[in-house]
Structure 1
Amino acid sequence: MSVRVLVVDDHPVFRTGMTTVLADLDGLEVVGEAGDGGSALEAVERLAPDVVLMDLRMPGMSGLEATRQITARFPEVAVIVLTMDEDDDSVFAALRAGARGYLLKEDGGEDVHRALLGVARGEAVFGPRIASRVLSFFARVPAGAAPVPVPFPQLTDREREVLDLLAQGLDNASIARRLILSEKTVRNRVSDILAKLRARSRAEAVALAKDAGLG
């Protein structure tokens, strides 16, 4: 039986190209495509894929939030992230959201093929460069040490840092100076934070942060 795959990416050309590549690989069947996280949720419910190949950065609902909702609502569906982002924040945020694999768009078709078949069997699969990051991280954790819980695991480390500064009363310009970022980047981070926390305003996000001990 073929592994049923849903391809999710906001770039139509990439989506079409990936669908064409996967169609030629043994043991796979592409059952649909989606261009954003919201459409991905609808497609998962309608098409019942075995694996979702998910981009992270998309308009509307992000791939990270879509991964979180898919794994919560459809635990039998595996999600593999396929993205250009290889920073630690993105990798571990995706894993915390429930992704069972993480690949880079530069990885070859054989890597994608192995990953799709692997996660369908219940394995966790990473591309070569990502695997070394994950192994390095766990090598630094002392044996037997309990994981340290972090507030708002749906946020990246940088987003939590921005939220903490918001809770301290800093405005965008001050946060930008503190973190050596542009104000535009800070604005984008704040927007992402509000979306992930489902907060309707900065004030509501700050209140949530303070309740969690930030600030």
Structure 2
Amino acid sequence: MIRVMLVDDQRPARMGFALMVAKDRGLQVIGQAENGKEALDFLESAERQQQLLPDVILMDVRMPVMDGLDATSAIKERYPFISIVILTTYDQDDYAFGGLSAGASGFLLKDVKTADLCKAIRSVYAGDAILTPRITGEVIKRGVDKAISSNEELELQKRFAKLGRREFEVASLVSEGLTNAEIAHRLGIQGDSVKKTVSRILNKLGVGERINIAVLWYKAALNTKQ
């Protein structure tokens, strides 16, 4: 059973997502919060009482008291094993990019369909990032355009150049939004091999979340060099 927490200041939104999650018998909502601070309080209370913590948190971005970006950063620092999915809308691209930078495993549009939501929760629980190539790529590129200098771009290109041939190939496919299973099929190798390769890439790039491979890939402008 995958444990899910919902964090959104809109009660109807939380109710809607709870109903969607309940459609999947392998998922269970174990907590809800109206803002980031309330979410942190919930986790700290559960930890003190030695209760099970959520595996995945669905996190809104715009909330009072503590927004989703600050909450994501704080939660990932204290509970790095919890995967966080940012909930956003088309007009919140900057927030979405900030969520990725804060340690989220990806983001979903709030009008996501039930099947896609449940699939996304299972994906991040399994260690994959939520990377819809068209949408996520655009969000990352918009954020990168505002946040990167030519010197930083060159430095990142040097970091990727230190990857082995297979590692570079896998990093490229991760940036396209492919899961481990899809990468294994594309390259004709075992899924465990892909998983180990992704772990080596994370270590060499100095990042902790799979989606940051894609973020750094775009920052290095490698997407324009293929």
Q: What TM-score does the superposition give when structure 1 sets the normalisation length? A: 0.60
Q: Which has the higher contact order (CA 8 A, sep 6+)?
A: 2
Contact map agreement 2:97 2:140 (CA 8 A) in 1: no
Q: Which residue of 1 aligns with 2:163?
A: none
Contact (CA 8 Å) 1:115, 1:126: kept in 2 or not?
A: no
Matches of 2:133 and 2:115 in 1, distance apart?
12
CA deviation string 1:114-153 (max 9, x = no partner): 11001111111035653341575699999x83349xxxxx
1:145 corresponding residue in structure 2: 154
Same amino acid, percent of matched pairs: 39
- 64, 67, 70: which one aligns with 2:72: 67
Does 2:46 match 1:37?
A: no
Gaps of 5+ in 2: 47-51, 158-226
Q: Match for residue 120 of structure 2?
A: 115
Q: Which amino acid aligns with 1:108?
A: K
Structure 1's consecutive aligned runs of 4 or more residues displaced over 6 angstroms after TM superposition are: 137-142
Structure 2 distance, partners of 1:112, 1:15, is 13
Q: Distance in 2 between matches of 1:139 and 1:6?
A: 30
Q: CA deviation at 1:52?
A: 0.4
Partner of 2:26: 27
Query: May I ask how many residue pairs the two structures share in their alignment?
Result: 146
Contact 1:82 1:102 in 2 (8 A): yes
- Backbone CA RMSD of aligned residues: 2.7
Structure with the larger helix share: 2
Alignment check: 8 A CA contact 1:107 1:127 kept? no
Q: Separation in 1 of the partners of 2:134 and 2:43?
A: 29
Query: Corresponding residue for 1:92?
Result: 97
Question: 1:162 maps to which residue?
Answer: none
Unaligned runs of 5+ in 1: 149-215
Cα deviations by residue, 1:44-88 (Å, 9 ceiling, x for unpaired): 331510000000001100111000000000001010001225544
- Pair 96,138 (structure 1): closer, same or farther in 2 beyond 3 Å: closer
Equivalent-residue separation in structure 2 for 1:25 and 1:43 (angstroms): 24
Larger Rg: 1
TM-score, normalized by length of structure 2?
Answer: 0.57
Which sits farther off after the overlay, 62-71 or 124-133?
124-133
Q: Distance in 1 between matches of 2:88 and 2:140?
A: 19
